[in-house]
Chain A
């Protein structure tokens, strides 16, 4: 199991155990992390699972692909460390990953 931490806009921390191969979005939904809506269910089609990757983790998580960049155009307050959490797959190297939930989704 890989440990993930979500920090919501009001500062609440959610520490969860995630299975490798699942997405950061799926684990947020399973653990009822507020502020991640995932309207489209993970199809990279809506930009409502937007998160900020903690600066210490951006290199390990990596850059979004072109299609994800396109969807990020629709997100609220996009920053250089913005990602759609449905496109981040949990893997061993992400153990301890911290992501922040934006003030609002789209």
Chain B
């Protein structure tokens, strides 16, 4: 357990809208800490479509999703935001002095005067493969990530998928496993060609088995896996196994935020359009995760929401302080904060 992280504003989600919020809040002298379940900033832009061109960012006729994230990071650098990656927020508690305590899924504590939820489509979580009854095995013999390689020693292991995670773990866990079977629905892979070649070489030496097909069922009892049923071109085969690692990419889920007692509208957080505040004063929601009449899920709408939210957040974080509206083109005090004053 580390120390409690204290900040003015805790931003949940480090996608484009969360990042731009750092800028708007920074101009108002509010320090920000961001938390994200991914291992780097950028959210969907970085995780799902880094190379996709975006055409509706004002003044950018075309910018790639990763390009936009890089520019935002450059823009907010003067405000020195801090980050906690690979963590999901779990609980939210309002303290006696009106500030908030947020606890992560790993037990870290973050305290802030204001909480801004900029979590987009929700937190990225491993996608559950479409195998009937798989829930019963999860956490016992079916895992979606490898926390400790030793947990897989001497097991009959089946890895499912064709991306880098699947191939990397096939290569890395093969020496430990009692037996290793890789299952993928087609002979082409998304993973790096080098890993694929290594996998085929190991197959040549009978160090592992590669099956083309889809896992359609599981056999076992009490959460303990005994076999996977793999359906290929030639019908079904039963592969004995005691551990399975499916890698089917990521999906987005609202997650524990849904339990925070905020007013929701079809799994989105209801906000007002003056402050973008949720039903809980001091907790704001901006970007794709919020809902209000007329809502458009556009990055540019999220930027606007961030600007208005910042004004309201300032009044909460610095009560009594007069907020003077200023332009970055002319205000020397804003330019000082940006490190560009002459």
Query: Which A residues contact B (CB, under 8 angstroms)?
Result: 39-41, 43, 45-47, 66, 69-70, 73-74, 76-78, 104, 106
Contacts and interface: CB of A to CB of B under 8 A. Distances in A.
A39 B252 contact: yes
Interface in B237-279: 248-249, 251-252
A44 to B, nearest CB: 8
A40 B186 contact: no
Contacts of B186: 69, 73
A73 B162 contact: yes
Contacts, number: 41
A24 B240 CA distance: 41
Interface in B42-76: 44, 48-49, 52
Interface of B, secondary structure class, is loop
Interface in B122-170: 127, 130, 161-163
Contact of B127 (A40, A78, A106): A106
Interface string B106-126: 000000000000000100000
Contacts of B297: 41
A69 B188 contact: yes
A40 B49 CA distance: 9
Interface of B: 44, 48-49, 52, 121, 127, 130, 161-163, 184-186, 188, 190, 214, 248-249, 251-252, 297
B121 A39 contact: yes
B48 A40 contact: yes
B142 to A, nearest CB: 17
Given A40-B49, A73-B163, 9 more contacts: A39-B121, A43-B49, A45-B49, A46-B48, A66-B188, A73-B186, A73-B190, A73-B249, A106-B251
A70 B191 CA distance: 10
Question: When A and B form their complex, which 4 residue pairs have the shortest distance between CB atoms, in order from nearest?
Answer: A76-B130, A45-B48, A74-B249, A70-B190
Contacts of B214: 77-78
A46 B121 CA distance: 12
A106 B161 CA distance: 14
Contacts of A77: 130, 214
A86 B190 CA distance: 20
B48 A106 contact: no
29 contacts: A39-B121, A39-B252, A40-B49, A43-B48, A43-B52, A45-B48, A45-B49, A45-B52, A46-B48, A47-B249, A66-B188, A69-B188, A70-B162, A70-B190, A73-B162, A73-B163, A73-B185, A73-B190, A73-B248, A73-B249, A74-B248, A76-B130, A77-B130, A77-B214, A78-B185, A78-B214, A104-B130, A106-B130, A106-B248
A97 to B, nearest CB: 25
Nearest to B216: A77
Contacts of B190: 70, 73
B168 to A, nearest CB: 16
Nearest to A106: B127
B205 to A, nearest CB: 26
Contacts of A45: 48-49, 52
B164 to A, nearest CB: 12
